[in-house]
Structure 1
Amino acid sequence: MRKQYVVLPAYGFRSQALAQAASLRSAVPMAVVAGGGATAVRSATTKVDVIDSVSEDGPKLVEMTPETELALRLEEPSLKIVPVVTYEKMRVMYEVKRQAAPAVFAATAQATSLRIEDTGGNPLADARVVAFTNFRTRAGDQGNTDANGTVRLRIASGTVLERLYVYGPPRYWGRFARSFALGAHASLQLEPIDLTQNLLSLRRFRRALPLTAGTGVVVGIVDTGIDKNHPLLSNVSGGANMVLDEIKNNPSAVDDWGPAYVDGEHGTHVAGIVGARSAGGIDIAGVAPGVTLRSYRVFPNAGGGATNYDIMSAIDRTVQDGCHIVNLSLGGGTEDEAVRAAIGSALDNGVLVVAAAGNDGRKPVSYPAALPFCVAVSAAGWTDSFPPTSSESSDIAKPSGSNLSFLGGFSNFGPQIDLTGPGVGVVSTLPGGTFGVMSGTSMASPALAGFAAYLLAANAPILALTGASRSAALKDKLFEAATPLGFGRDYEGFGLPG
């Protein structure tokens, strides 16, 4: 069975060894180890198919059998071969994983209706309702409300839900309830987002930063794509679709760097946190509204995760396009040498890389944030920055800190954490010219990327540096700007910049 792999230099990101490797341009002799010794016995040849290459001397995506992969290691010891893996977005949205227990599971015809309304009793469509009969095992049912604000749950009427999450449609907070009894006329109301509230987490974080913050700095958003027509994101200057499966047979699709068709709102929300500019009566400002944003879409239109090859290629593209800072609101469970090499190359070229620490509920920091040269960001919140009944209230957890702060219950932690940022109940831009709330280390990371852009724009000597000296100096400046909230070293690193 043939599999895909990423082939890299043993050290670094580019190497003439990749350009000169005969094994990647012709058939590869298979190597079979003799049963009684270490002697490699050559046998029939097997082909290595090179599917794509970042550059002639850069990493390559190849397809071959596992046996050929072993042979290639012998043939080309100057190369490194890693499997293709996928990364996910670091937004928090709890999901049902299995059907409710038979005692409470209802056939579709006997499903229980739940109505979601605004505070005036009007129906709200497209609210996401997640009902857990057992939160630990993630058992229950879920669905989206229809035009009448109704969702039908395959859970018997009268069942007391252990937890109920409602994720609001644009412009509304969500809702969280424990021990919620489903009934024939059950309903819940959602509060509208009040943009005049000064305690909103992003506004609280950016405080008195000027609306010109970040001017002259380019920030690359490696994500699900950005809505270039959003009135608050007029500073998006372009980008590229880096999803190889979409562009390899249609080169013109490289210009499709807007939101992915499925679950594509994430990148627009992230971009707004970095650099939204208030407009059209929507008073939302990102941390550094003066920045230039660029969109590098790595999540496919069909939905699902982003491959390490596409992410690696996107990071390299940000360097070639002159970005100063790159935000990675994505992560995975295991260390990946392909993305590691791309990030190392970016830093060597003066590009600072900021990454989300992960949302696994106090588990170790996920990759790539766990890499020692990334700026790894955990997610903080403030208990007075969202309604007490909103879905964000379920993420209030210890450790707590100063000024009603806490570390989001979902946030990973560990010695790799460098900083913390606003990541619980963050209001930002959404596709279609609107706005809404999300939580996750996905939100904390771009807030710190925006703050780094502010610092870089305000420090001409650092901006004038080149190569690794610039990225190292900017990282140091970012750390110096932080103040601990009182969570402890492994939860917040140097603390919250401000």
Structure 2
Amino acid sequence: MNRYVVLPAHGFRSQTLAQAASLRATIPLAAAVRGANPAVRDAISKVDVIDSVSVDGPKLVEMTPETELRLRLEEPSLKIVPLVIYEKMRLVYEIKREAAAAVFSTAEQGAVLRIEDMAGGPIEGARVIAFTNFRTRAGDEGRTDANGAVRLRIASGTTLERIYVYGPPRYWGRFEKSFTLSNDASLQLEPIDLSQELTALRRFRADIPLTAGQGIVVGIVDSGVDSAHPLLPNVSGGANMVLAETKDDPGQIADWGPAAIDGEHGTHVAGIVGARPTAEFDLAGVAPGVTLRSYRVFPHTGGGATNYDIMNAIDRAVQDGCHIINLSLGGGTEDEALRAAIGSALDSGVLVIAAAGNDGRKPVSFPGTLPFCIAVTAMAWSDSFPSVSSEASDIARPYGSENTFLGAFSNFGPQIDLTGPGVGVISTLPEGTYGVMSGTSMASPAVAGYAAFLLAADGIILRLNGADRSTALRDRLFGSAVPLGLGRDYEGFGLPGKGST
């Protein structure tokens, strides 16, 4: 049995889906009216409805592939879409285990590397990724212990092609080429200075007031947001949209905080949109006046999010009154389920902004490829992070004005609408702290925050309804941007905030 999303052939809701409590009651009757043979009717009756976005909205069903084919023939008014998995668009260069050359059978044979602060003290929790061959992604990785040490299954004396250290909260990472491992080797990480004027988010938001975005609600469809963070008092609620967690326990819908595994991503994204600085932390999002809502689609068990959960989250955000939705996620092939959900959101006046993807100059990831979804690449300033940080490896052509470049990982193509800061972005992390991430995941919420700033300041657009509002806001956002000289397919209209606002 396979799972599929069933939705109208056109649009997001239909009377065909509303006429019965389940497809079991609807489809066989329609098939019988057209004289379908008993075998077909029997097959269609085996459609098991797992969940519905709404009574007249898309449904998650379970059936055999044979039943799916017959249902396509018998009900042309319906569209049947397989489940698709989407991933977060944060950049981390990772080892491919199948290509892990120069790896020992026992960890005790490998070299020990020490990660330290600038004073020589140990740093715990740094992620170390060592490549013996970067092209094939061969090597080993690990995290530092309380002594700042990590044992890699690579022989002492081996010269690594590349080594990346991703810092724990409050530290920049580190990047080195042609680094020779030895048991007395060490690397130092620089602490993050929140007062530094050239950091990406501070530079991007420039003179935007701390009240920017008041009255605007931004939905964060992601891995959950830490509402207890002192910089995120503007998180007003949300919903856990992971069906696997809520189906048998509806009370889990209230569990919209960070996922247990890899859950920090959503909090970082939320902070980029609307973190509010405090006396202790001088860290502001683009539009600190916004109200944030968290829609968790990534499960506690780790891994990706399904298209059904994401489309359900988009619809829930629209029903909850969000003006803007951020999608720092993406996948490969086009998915009709998300196309319908995003189209419905735009028809309701909600602007949807998505990450372009981190595949290293490959085509734009879906849903950023949709012509009505704002696709955002990741630019940066080469002087916005330490010269030896992990971000330094992402400086690449094309280069633009004012020390700008497009991150080496960022996708590009004719579907690109805008660019935003996405390399070495400092933002909030769970448990009341902050740290650095890179990716089109970071660029997308920066643009979403700027859109919120523009919408809050423009009462005429705010009073519009339906597609008129989302279209007017889109055009306003495009009009606020100017090219950096990166090229049309790399930056679209350019970087928001530099043009006429």
Q: Given the two structures, how large is their TM-score scaled by the length of structure 2?
A: 0.95
SS of residue in 1 equivalent to 2:273: helix
Q: Which amino acid is the alignment partner of residue 294 of structure 2?
A: S
Q: Which amino acid is the alignment partner of residue 190 of structure 1?
A: L
Q: How does 1:173-192 map to 2 (within 5 A)?
A: 173-192=172-191
Pairwise CA distance, 1:22: 9.1
CA distance in 1, matches of 2:11, 2:440: 28
Residue in structure 2 matched with residue 129 of structure 1 by the alignment: 128
CA distance in 2, matches of 1:85, 1:103: 35
CA distance in 2, matches of 1:230, 1:22: 41
CA distance in 2, matches of 1:159, 1:99: 20
CA distance in 1, matches of 2:39, 2:314: 39
Pairwise CA distance, 1:41: 6.2
Pairwise CA distance, 1:75: 1.8
Residues 23 and 75 in structure 1, CA contact (< 8 A), matched pair in contact too: no
CA distance in 1, matches of 2:486, 2:347: 32
CA distance in 1, matches of 2:57, 2:26: 20
CA distance in 2, matches of 1:197, 1:402: 21
SS of residue in 2 equivalent to 1:402: coil
1:478 aligns with 2:474: no
CA distance in 2, matches of 1:88, 1:230: 24
1:43 aligns with 2:39: yes
Pairwise CA distance, 1:19: 2.0
SS of residue in 2 equivalent to 1:294: strand
CA distance in 2, matches of 1:22, 1:206: 49
Pairwise CA distance, 1:25: 2.1
CA distance in 1, matches of 2:443, 2:101: 40
Deviates more, 1:272-281 or 1:414-423: 272-281
1:390 aligns with 2:389: yes
CA distance in 2, matches of 1:101, 1:374: 38
User: CA, structure 1 residues 103+366, in 2 after alignment: closer, same or farther (shift >3 Å)?
Assistant: closer
Residue in structure 1 matched with residue 219 of structure 2 by the alignment: 220
CA distance in 1, matches of 2:434, 2:318: 30
Residues 100 and 140 in structure 2, CA contact (< 8 A), matched pair in contact too: no
SS of residue in 1 equivalent to 2:402: helix
Residue in structure 1 matched with residue 439 of structure 2 by the alignment: 440
Residue in structure 1 matched with residue 70 of structure 2 by the alignment: 71
Q: How does 1:11-410 map to 2 (within 5 A)?
A: 11-20=10-19, 24-26=23-25, 43=39, 45-46=42-43, 47-98=46-97, 103=102, 105=104, 107-410=106-409
CA distance in 2, matches of 1:51, 1:457: 40
User: CA, structure 1 residues 28+19, in 2 after alignment: closer, same or farther (shift >3 Å)?
Assistant: closer
CA distance in 2, matches of 1:211, 1:471: 24
CA distance in 2, matches of 1:172, 1:87: 29
Residues 21 and 55 in structure 2, CA contact (< 8 A), matched pair in contact too: no
Q: Which amino acid is the alignment partner of residue 189 of structure 1?
A: Q
Q: Deviations over 1:139-178 (max 9, x none)?
A: 1000111111111100011000011000000000000000
SS of residue in 1 equivalent to 2:380: strand
User: CA, structure 1 residues 152+320, in 2 after alignment: closer, same or farther (shift >3 Å)?
Assistant: same
Q: How does 1:456-495 map to 2 (within 5 A)?
A: 456-495=455-494
Residues 355 and 377 in structure 1, CA contact (< 8 A), matched pair in contact too: yes
Pairwise CA distance, 1:99: 5.8
User: CA, structure 1 residues 364+21, in 2 after alignment: closer, same or farther (shift >3 Å)?
Assistant: farther
CA distance in 2, matches of 1:23, 1:294: 31
Pairwise CA distance, 1:458: 0.3
Q: Which amino acid is the alignment partner of residue 95 of structure 1?
A: E
Q: Deviations over 1:164-196 (max 9, x none)?
A: 000000000000000110002111000000111
Q: Deviations over 1:402-460 (max 9, x none)?
A: 00000000000000000000000000000000000000000000000000000000000
Q: Which amino acid is the alignment partner of residue 423 of structure 1?
A: G
Q: Which amino acid is the alignment partner of residue 89 of structure 1?
A: K
Q: Which amino acid is the alignment partner of residue 266 of structure 1?
A: H
Residues 100 and 155 in structure 1, CA contact (< 8 A), matched pair in contact too: no
CA distance in 2, matches of 1:88, 1:101: 23
Residues 103 and 139 in structure 2, CA contact (< 8 A), matched pair in contact too: no
SS of residue in 2 equivalent to 1:333: coil
Q: Deviations over 1:95-129 (max 9, x none)?
A: 10126665563621212111101001110011000
Residue in structure 2 matched with residue 36 of structure 1 by the alignment: none
Residues 132 and 161 in structure 1, CA contact (< 8 A), matched pair in contact too: yes
User: CA, structure 1 residues 321+101, in 2 after alignment: closer, same or farther (shift >3 Å)?
Assistant: closer
Residues 99 and 141 in structure 1, CA contact (< 8 A), matched pair in contact too: no
User: CA, structure 1 residues 467+104, in 2 after alignment: closer, same or farther (shift >3 Å)?
Assistant: closer
User: CA, structure 1 residues 186+14, in 2 after alignment: closer, same or farther (shift >3 Å)?
Assistant: same
**Unaligned segments of structure 1, at least 5 residues:** 30-38
User: CA, structure 1 residues 103+424, in 2 after alignment: closer, same or farther (shift >3 Å)?
Assistant: closer
What's the C-alpha RMSD, in Å, of the aligned pairs? 1.6
Q: Given the two structures, how large is their TM-score scaled by the length of structure 1?
A: 0.96
Q: Which amino acid is the alignment partner of residue 314 of structure 1?
A: A
User: CA, structure 1 residues 388+371, in 2 after alignment: closer, same or farther (shift >3 Å)?
Assistant: same
Q: Which amino acid is the alignment partner of residue 495 of structure 1?
A: G
Residues 232 and 429 in structure 1, CA contact (< 8 A), matched pair in contact too: yes
Residues 4 and 62 in structure 2, CA contact (< 8 A), matched pair in contact too: yes
Q: How does 1:407-446 map to 2 (within 5 A)?
A: 407-446=406-445
User: CA, structure 1 residues 106+189, in 2 after alignment: closer, same or farther (shift >3 Å)?
Assistant: farther
CA distance in 2, matches of 1:26, 1:139: 54
